[in-house]
Structures are given as structure tokens and as C-alpha cells.
Amino acid sequence: MTIATVLGSSPVPRKYVPVLVTAALFAAMFVVGGIRYEGLATGQVILNVFIDNAFLLVVAVGMTFVILTGGIDLSVGSVVALSTMVAATLLKQGWSPWAVMVLVVLIGSVLGLGMGAIIHYFEIQPFIVTLAGMFLARGLCYTIGTASIPIDDPTFTAFAQTQINFGDMWISPSVVIAVVVVAVAAYALHYTRLGRNVYATGGNEQSALLMGLPVARTKIAVYTISGFCSALGGLLLSFYMLSGYGLHAVGMELDAIAAVVIGGTLLTGGTGYLLGTVLGVLVLGLIQTIISFDGTLSSWWTRIVIGLLLFVFILMQRLITARRR
């Protein structure tokens, strides 16, 4: 009996299998880590994973929209870095922090909208367009400055230092923002026309066109959402680091893609859930936490484990899609 046959004969619908596997993986890692390392199996450790990865979670939400349509966005890490640089520079010049936040989010959204329009109307592969966007945004960082720019604005500092306590545990305001973004995005994907169009476009773009669905608007919208989430993630990273730097978020686009794929969203589009993306981010964060608790392993083991997980989940996706055909 093959693995594909097992997946096909499972009483659980195939579309839920990747998410359930990710949830089981996270639970197993947490239990094994708690047994092996004293102090790991606590609620605050899980909350710390959220605190340390709130910006990545927001970026991964935008990436989920893009991948659900069968696209990819390689520019997100550079847009995050550009957002930190723009915020730090304008704050240093005396701008209002609220005006800075609005401008940063607007810049990210416009960049995403532009890339989405080029991808659709010029029929260029998303990989190429967003790769150009990655170089553009990272290059703009270095035109602003090559050194790290500290942020000492009282509003940003207060936001960074605020703790929301409940009992013996606490979270940061960034976690609240990330959870709100996830909730709004989940509602949009599953209960609005935009969400239905996203899934239909990723499932079969030609069929979506024949059904009269607004494929152009949908594709442009998802890249605009990705740009918005990248800029918002950049603001959360600014709160977390209290600095703007052109080398911030190097490789974050790969972390976001990894979180989405490990969360069960198919790279070919059309299938996936935001809950899976949240679990994917938690798995990545828990891997880092376990390695930190161990104390004897290099941080590069994080990349090694993530790479192995990606191989496993891509293989599982292949088996599921092969069974569908």
C-alpha cells in the first residue's frame, strides 16, 4: 500500500491533512522539548514564540494570499527592511510617529500594487517581478543609509516596552496586532467574495476567467495585501528592534514561504488555510526556542531542520495532488 493510497483512504478530507500534520508536529515538538528541557513546556514559552515572531506572522499572512493564487513574492523581506529604514529616518527628522506609520504602510501597499499590476497586465512570472522588487526595495534601503539608525521616539519606545499582562504571563502589543491581522485575513479568505476569488484563481486561473471572475483585480489585490503586510511587519520589527537597518530581514521572504508551506498551503495554489500558516510560524519559532534551550547546537541547525521539514511537506503536497489527479 502506497502513502498516496493511505492519504486517499483516510477518513479526514485530504485538504485538512497538511494542517493536521503541522498541528501534530507542533504538539510533538512541544511535548518532547518539555520532557527534554526543563522550563520549556510552559505557556509563556509559547507566548514568547508569538512575541519574537509577530512580524513574521504578519508577513506570512500576506504571503499566504499570494501563494493561494499560485504566485510568489520574493520582495517581502526587502520591503520590511525598507519600512524600518523609512520609519527610523523620518522619526529622526521629527515627523509624527502616526504619520510615519501611515506613510510606511502606504509605501508597502503601493509597491505591492505595482508588482501585481506588472505581473498580470504584462504576463510576467511573479518570480521575476518580485525578484526585481526585492532588489529595488533593498537598494532603496542603502540609498537612505548604510548604517543602523536607532529609534528613540517616545511613541515607538513606549510601544516596544509595553507588556499586556494576564496572570503570570504577558504578551506585547505586536502580538495583538498580529492576531487581529490573522483574524481579519481569515474572515476575508473564507467569508468574502475576495477570498472565493483567491481560491478560484489559484485552483485554475483559466476556469476562473471563463466563469467571469475578476482575476486581474484578484491578483493585483493579493500583491497589494502582501505589500501592506510586509510594511506592517516592518513597523512591528521597528518596535521589536528599535532601529532601522538595510540588513534587517535578510532571508525573511524564505522564512515566510517556509511557514506557509509547512502550514499546508500548496505552492501550486488553490488550497490552504491561515490557521496552517499560524502553525507554520509557531513551528519555526519553536525550533529556534528548542535550539536555544539546548545551548550546544549552532543556530544554523535551525536552517537545517527547516530545510528537512520543507522537503517532507513538499513531498506530502506532491502525494496529495497526485492522488487528486
- Residue 166: which pLDDT band, with cuts at 50, 70 and 90? confident
63-75 burial: b if 16+ Cβ within 10 Å, else e: bbbbbbbbbbbbb
CA distance 122 to 2: 43
Q: Report whether 266 contacts 49 (CB < 8 A).
A: no
Helix (H, G, I), strand (E, B) or coil at 217: helix
* pLDDT value at residue 321: 66
Average model confidence (pLDDT) across the chain = 92
Full-model pTM: 0.93
In this predicted structure, the answer to whether residue 299 has a pLDDT above a threshold of 80 is no
- The mean per-residue pLDDT over the stretch 118-129 comes to 95
Query: Which residues neighbour 181 within 8 Å (Cβ) at sequence distance 6 or greater?
Result: 57, 58, 61, 229, 232
CA distance 224 to 207: 23
DSSP string, 220-260: HHHHHHHHHHHHHHHHHHHHHHSEE-TTTTTTHHHHHHHHH
- Which of 91-105, 165-179, 291-305 is predicted least confidently? 291-305
Query: Which residues neighbour 72 within 8 Å (Cβ) at sequence distance 6 or greater?
Result: 66, 126, 127, 130, 257
Q: Report whether 132 contacts 126 (CB < 8 A).
A: no
CA distance 122 to 109: 20
pLDDT tens for each residue of 243-289: 999 999 999 999 999 999 999 998 889 989 999 999 999 999 999 99
* pLDDT value at residue 120: 93
Domains of the chain: 12-32+40-324 (1.10.3470)
- The mean per-residue pLDDT over the stretch 176-195 comes to 97
173-207 burial: b if 16+ Cβ within 10 Å, else e: bbbebbbebbeebbebbeeeebbebbbbbbbebee
- The mean per-residue pLDDT over the stretch 201-220 comes to 94
DSSP state of 123: T
The DSSP element (H or E) to which 166 belongs, if any, is strand 164-166
CA distance 160 to 145: 23
pLDDT tens for each residue of 31-81: 999 999 888 888 999 999 999 999 999 999 999 999 999 999 999 999 999
In this predicted structure, the answer to whether residue 3 has a pLDDT above a threshold of 60 is no
- The mean per-residue pLDDT over the stretch 229-250 comes to 97
- The mean per-residue pLDDT over the stretch 106-117 comes to 98
- The mean per-residue pLDDT over the stretch 157-168 comes to 92
Type of residue found at 74? L
- Residue 316: which pLDDT band, with cuts at 50, 70 and 90? confident
245: phi > 0 → left, psi -120 to 50 → alpha, else beta; which? beta
